[in-house]
A = this chain, B = another copy of it.
Amino acid sequence: MATVRLLKDTEVSAEALAVFDEIRAARGTDFINNFWRALAHDPALLRATWDRLAAVMSDGALNPLIKELIYVAVSAANSCEYCVHSHTAAARAKGMTDEMYGELLAVVGMASQTNALATALQVPVDEQFLS
Protein backbone atom coordinates (compact mmCIF):
# COMPACT_ATOMS: atom_id res chain seq x y z
CA MET A 1 0.00 0.00 0.00
CA ALA A 2 1.33 3.42 -0.93
CA THR A 3 1.85 6.29 1.51
CA VAL A 4 -0.79 8.16 -0.54
CA ARG A 5 -4.04 7.09 -2.16
CA LEU A 6 -3.71 6.10 -5.81
CA LEU A 7 -5.87 8.60 -7.67
CA LYS A 8 -8.46 7.67 -10.28
CA ASP A 9 -8.93 9.76 -13.41
CA THR A 10 -12.00 11.34 -11.86
CA GLU A 11 -10.02 12.49 -8.83
CA VAL A 12 -7.05 14.23 -10.40
CA SER A 13 -6.63 17.85 -11.40
CA ALA A 14 -6.89 19.02 -14.98
CA GLU A 15 -3.13 19.46 -15.09
CA ALA A 16 -2.57 15.88 -13.92
CA LEU A 17 -5.17 14.54 -16.36
CA ALA A 18 -3.32 16.23 -19.21
CA VAL A 19 -0.19 14.29 -18.23
CA PHE A 20 -2.18 11.05 -18.08
CA ASP A 21 -3.41 11.78 -21.60
CA GLU A 22 0.13 12.29 -22.83
CA ILE A 23 1.25 9.02 -21.22
CA ARG A 24 -1.65 7.20 -22.88
CA ALA A 25 -0.87 8.72 -26.27
CA ALA A 26 2.85 7.99 -26.02
CA ARG A 27 2.30 4.38 -25.00
CA GLY A 28 -0.73 3.60 -27.14
CA THR A 29 -2.68 2.19 -24.22
CA ASP A 30 -5.34 3.40 -21.81
CA PHE A 31 -3.48 1.87 -18.87
CA ILE A 32 -1.90 4.27 -16.37
CA ASN A 33 0.35 2.48 -13.87
CA ASN A 34 0.31 3.16 -10.14
CA PHE A 35 3.47 5.27 -10.07
CA TRP A 36 1.74 8.06 -11.97
CA ARG A 37 -1.46 7.73 -9.94
CA ALA A 38 0.59 8.27 -6.77
CA LEU A 39 2.51 11.22 -8.23
CA ALA A 40 -0.76 12.83 -9.35
CA HIS A 41 -1.23 14.30 -5.87
CA ASP A 42 1.44 16.82 -6.90
CA PRO A 43 0.72 17.80 -10.53
CA ALA A 44 3.97 19.76 -10.86
CA LEU A 45 6.04 16.76 -9.73
CA LEU A 46 4.03 14.50 -12.04
CA ARG A 47 4.57 16.83 -14.98
CA ALA A 48 8.31 17.26 -14.40
CA THR A 49 8.87 13.53 -13.91
CA TRP A 50 6.96 12.47 -17.02
CA ASP A 51 8.45 15.15 -19.25
CA ARG A 52 11.98 14.23 -18.23
CA LEU A 53 11.37 10.48 -18.45
CA ALA A 54 9.97 10.81 -21.97
CA ALA A 55 12.98 12.85 -23.07
CA VAL A 56 15.57 10.60 -21.43
CA MET A 57 14.13 7.29 -22.66
CA SER A 58 13.59 8.33 -26.26
CA ASP A 59 15.67 6.88 -29.09
CA GLY A 60 19.15 8.37 -29.46
CA ALA A 61 22.73 7.16 -29.46
CA LEU A 62 21.39 4.35 -27.28
CA ASN A 63 18.12 2.73 -28.30
CA PRO A 64 15.12 2.44 -25.95
CA LEU A 65 15.73 -1.25 -25.20
CA ILE A 66 19.32 -0.64 -24.07
CA LYS A 67 18.09 2.24 -21.92
CA GLU A 68 15.53 -0.04 -20.27
CA LEU A 69 18.22 -2.63 -19.51
CA ILE A 70 20.26 0.08 -17.80
CA TYR A 71 17.16 1.23 -15.93
CA VAL A 72 16.51 -2.28 -14.63
CA ALA A 73 20.14 -2.59 -13.51
CA VAL A 74 20.07 0.67 -11.56
CA SER A 75 16.69 -0.19 -10.04
CA ALA A 76 18.02 -3.51 -8.78
CA ALA A 77 21.13 -1.87 -7.35
CA ASN A 78 18.90 0.64 -5.56
CA SER A 79 16.56 -2.10 -4.26
CA CYS A 80 13.44 -0.53 -5.75
CA GLU A 81 10.85 -3.29 -5.92
CA TYR A 82 8.35 -1.27 -7.92
CA CYS A 83 10.93 -0.10 -10.45
CA VAL A 84 12.42 -3.56 -10.93
CA HIS A 85 9.00 -4.92 -11.85
CA SER A 86 7.84 -2.03 -14.01
CA HIS A 87 11.08 -1.67 -15.97
CA THR A 88 11.61 -5.41 -16.41
CA ALA A 89 8.12 -5.51 -17.92
CA ALA A 90 8.99 -2.50 -20.08
CA ALA A 91 12.23 -4.10 -21.25
CA ARG A 92 10.33 -7.23 -22.30
CA ALA A 93 7.78 -5.11 -24.15
CA LYS A 94 10.65 -3.46 -26.02
CA GLY A 95 12.15 -6.76 -27.10
CA MET A 96 14.32 -8.10 -24.29
CA THR A 97 14.71 -11.85 -24.89
CA ASP A 98 15.31 -14.50 -22.22
CA GLU A 99 18.93 -14.68 -23.30
CA MET A 100 19.37 -10.93 -22.92
CA TYR A 101 17.72 -11.04 -19.51
CA GLY A 102 20.00 -13.82 -18.31
CA GLU A 103 23.04 -11.85 -19.41
CA LEU A 104 21.72 -8.66 -17.85
CA LEU A 105 21.31 -10.48 -14.53
CA ALA A 106 24.80 -11.93 -14.80
CA VAL A 107 26.35 -8.50 -15.39
CA VAL A 108 24.38 -6.92 -12.54
CA GLY A 109 25.48 -9.72 -10.20
CA MET A 110 29.11 -9.55 -11.30
CA ALA A 111 29.26 -5.77 -11.03
CA SER A 112 27.76 -5.89 -7.54
CA GLN A 113 30.36 -8.43 -6.51
CA THR A 114 33.38 -6.54 -7.81
CA ASN A 115 31.95 -3.25 -6.53
CA ALA A 116 31.91 -4.76 -3.05
CA LEU A 117 35.42 -6.19 -3.42
CA ALA A 118 36.96 -2.95 -4.73
CA THR A 119 35.26 -0.94 -2.00
CA ALA A 120 36.24 -3.39 0.74
CA LEU A 121 39.83 -3.33 -0.50
CA GLN A 122 39.77 0.44 -1.15
CA VAL A 123 41.72 -0.11 -4.35
CA PRO A 124 43.27 3.16 -5.59
CA VAL A 125 42.31 4.18 -9.11
CA ASP A 126 45.04 3.46 -11.67
CA GLU A 127 46.50 6.54 -13.34
CA GLN A 128 45.81 4.91 -16.69
CA PHE A 129 42.07 5.25 -16.08
CA LEU A 130 42.32 8.96 -15.32
CA SER A 131 43.87 10.21 -18.56
Question: Which A residues have a C-beta under 8 Å from some C-beta of B?
Answer: 1-4, 6, 31, 33-35, 38-39, 41-42, 44-45, 48-49, 52-53, 55-57, 60-62, 66-67, 69-89, 97-126, 128-130
Contacts and interface: CB of A to CB of B under 8 A. Distances in A.
22 contacts: A2-B122, A2-B124, A3-B84, A6-B124, A34-B124, A45-B117, A49-B114, A53-B114, A56-B109, A56-B110, A62-B104, A71-B110, A74-B111, A74-B115, A76-B116, A76-B119, A78-B79, A79-B79, A80-B114, A82-B125, A85-B122, A105-B120
A41 B102 contact: yes
A78 B81 contact: no
